[in-house]
């Protein structure tokens, strides 16, 4: 059974950056909009697909809010590629991307995230290729 640890139901349009990657009608990974037409996700989420294989769905009511100072547990099937957001000055920024983890919501088994700030130059250089 899937569970949300320390979360609550999302309000409509509360997390407009959150998307779901879908293959043949089945959601399998998350992602974050960085522009109206660009999504950042974990590389392992898209390794075996072309852009034509996938659909990107936004607007579902299943995001999770977690406090980073609590025991930080998350990750379950479909969470990979999803965002860890953080307040920076007066706005919310993408701080991490769900990478991998052991178990789901079990104490002592935290999720592992990619630190987005380490890849900002890479992201910008690939955005310019379009």
Q: What is the mean pLDDT of residues 54-58?
A: 91
Q: Pick the residue with more confidence: 127 or 96?
A: 96
| pLDDT value of residue 41 | 94
Q: Please enumerate in sequence order all residues whose Cβ is within 8 A of that of 79, keeping only pairs 6 or more positions apart, or say none.
A: 30, 98, 111
Give SS3 for 48. Answer: coil
Domain ranges of the chain: 18-127
Q: Pick the residue with more confidence: 30 or 68?
A: 30
Q: What is the mean pLDDT of residues 95-100?
A: 90
| pLDDT value of residue 105 | 62
If 0-12 CB within 10 Å is exposed, 13-18 middle and 19+ buried, where does residue 11 land?
exposed
Task: Band the pLDDT of 67: cuts 50, 70, 90.
Answer: very low
CATH topology of domain 18-127: Thrombin, subunit H (2.40.10)
Task: Band the pLDDT of 60: cuts 50, 70, 90.
Answer: low
């Amino acid at each position: 059974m899937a569970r949300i640890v320390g979360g609550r139901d999302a309000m409509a349009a509360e997390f407009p950056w959150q998307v779901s990657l879908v293959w043949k009608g089945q959601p399998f990974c998350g992602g974050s909009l960085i522009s109206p037409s660009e999504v950042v996700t974990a590389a392992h989420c898209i390794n075996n697909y072309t852009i034509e294989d996938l659909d990107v769905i936004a607007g579902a009511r299943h995001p999770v809010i977690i406090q980073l100072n609590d025991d930080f547990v998350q990750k379950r099937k479909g969470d990979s590629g999803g965002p860890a957001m953080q307040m920076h000055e007066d706005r919310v920024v993408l701080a991490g991307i769900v990478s991998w983890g052991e178990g789901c919501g079990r104490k002592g088994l935290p999720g592992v995230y990619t630190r987005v700030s380490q890849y900002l130059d890479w992201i910008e250089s690939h955005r310019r290729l379009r």
